[in-house]
Amino acid sequence: AVAVRKVTAGVPAALVAAVAAPVAVEHDGKAVNRPLTFELKLAPVDVGADNVASQFASERGLNCERLAELGIGVGQRGSMKDLLAIPIHNVEGELVAYCGRDLGLRGADAPKYVFPKQYNRELELYGWDTAQYYDQVALVEGFMPVIKHGGVAAEYGESGIGVASLMGFHISDAQIELLLQTQPRVVVCFLGEPSRQLQAMAVASSLANAGLWVTIRSCLRWQDPFSITSDEFCQVVGKI
C-alpha cells in the first residue's frame, strides 16, 4: 500500500511561503520522491545577454556554461515561469523536482524559492548525485554554492571535493542516511551571517552523533556569500 505523509519539519522561516507543505510518498516503509516523467523546456542563460537572468548570473559570479551543464534555465510556463528553474536529482540520478529561484520578475512579495508541493526536500541532498562519489564532501545550505563552486571543487587537489546542499539550515535523518551510505569526510560550510555558524554547528553535531567524520569551516569573512570565489571556497573546505 502507498501512504501519503505531510512533512514540514526543518523548513527555514524565510522559505515557508515557498514550500507550502510538501508531500512525501511512502512505499515499503520508506519515504521517497517519485521521479518525474517529464523535463521542462527552459530558456538558457546566455553570457552577456540583455535580460534579467543573465544579469542575475553575472552579479553572482555564476558561470553560464556551468548552469547549462546542470540543466538550469528560465522557466517558460506553469509554476516555474519567470523563475530560474533548478533540476534536482535523487541518489540514482533520477529527476525528482525543479526548484524555482526568484529573479525579481514576480513582484516584491514573491518567495525567494519555490518548491513543488509534492516534493519533500528533506529526502534529498542537492548535488548528491555527483558528490556521493567523492571521499570529501563540502556540505552547504543553499543551491548557489553547489552551482557556483561544485565544478571547480570537483577538480581541486588530487582527488577533488564533492559539494552538496541541504536546501536549508537543518539536516534530516534521511539526509544523514545518504551520507552514511558512502561515509565521506564532511566539511560543513555555511556562508553568510554569523547566525548560520550556529546552525552549522547543530548540523555537524547531528552528523558526529551518527558516526560520521565531520568538521566545520568558518566563513565569517564572507558576509556576502557571493563574494567568495571558487578558489577561495576550495581552499577553505579543502583544509582538513
Which is nearest to 86 in space by CA: 58, 123, 119, 48? 119
Residue 43, beta-bridge partner list:
74
- Contacts made by residues 33-36, CB under 8 angstroms, sequence distance 24+: 33/90, 33/96, 33/97, 33/119, 33/120, 33/123, 33/124, 34/96, 34/118, 35/90, 35/94, 35/95, 35/96, 36/95, 36/96, 36/97
∠ CA 62-66-69, nearest 5°, is: 150
pLDDT at 240 over 80: no
44 pLDDT above the threshold of 80 = yes
Query: Which range is least confidently modeled, 7-16, 57-66, 164-173?
Result: 7-16
More reliable by pLDDT, 203 or 239: 203
User: 115 pLDDT exceeds 70?
Assistant: yes
**Does the pLDDT at position 20 exceed 60?**
no
Q: Which amino acid is at 105?
A: L
